[in-house]
A = this chain, B = another copy of it.
């Protein structure tokens, strides 16, 4: 299987900078690499774009993500994205009606702090793409992978929950 990962930043990637004393969104794929190191049967292409906390993303950043998706030849795409505005970017991608299988994912806690949640969200996306799914724009978080319009961040609970 071939999968393109578009890594746009967000909490998933955050690492602690001991000099500055704060968490940063690095423009690298260290968080991701630890997960895909065990994916012996997948041929990954990784595109690192934007590299921001999603609260700081601009229209121009979202346009850049759209372009990265359109320029991807693989039909399977996983987009790592911050949780705060993943609904905006995924809605924008969905509107484009791109004939691909696009799964957004991310994490509430950085991979550098908790390896379980980030690995789970990403790996759900990968497992979903292993099935013969329809083209569409999905979100993979907290146990489910569904159409991006159906999973919503509950900001009080810190959980993505299926919208009734």
Restricting to A1-38, which residues have a CB under 8 Å from any CB of B? Answer: 1, 11, 16, 18-19, 21-23, 34-38
The minimal Cβ–Cβ distance linking A153 to chain B, given in whole angstroms, is: 11
- Give the interface residue-count category, chain A: 35 or more
Residues of B close to A42: CB separation below 8 A: 143-144
Q: Which chain B residue has the least Cβ–Cβ distance from A3?
A: B143
Q: Given A115-B119, A117-B38, is A19 in contact with B124 using a C-beta cutoff of 8 Å?
A: no
**Top 3 A-B residue pairs of the complex, sorted by shortest distance between their CB atoms:** A127-B127, A39-B143, A131-B131
Known pairs A11-B18, A120-B122, A131-B145; list 13 more (Cβ under 8 Å): A1-B143, A16-B23, A16-B109, A38-B120, A38-B142, A41-B151, A41-B162, A119-B123, A123-B123, A125-B127, A127-B129, A131-B132, A131-B133
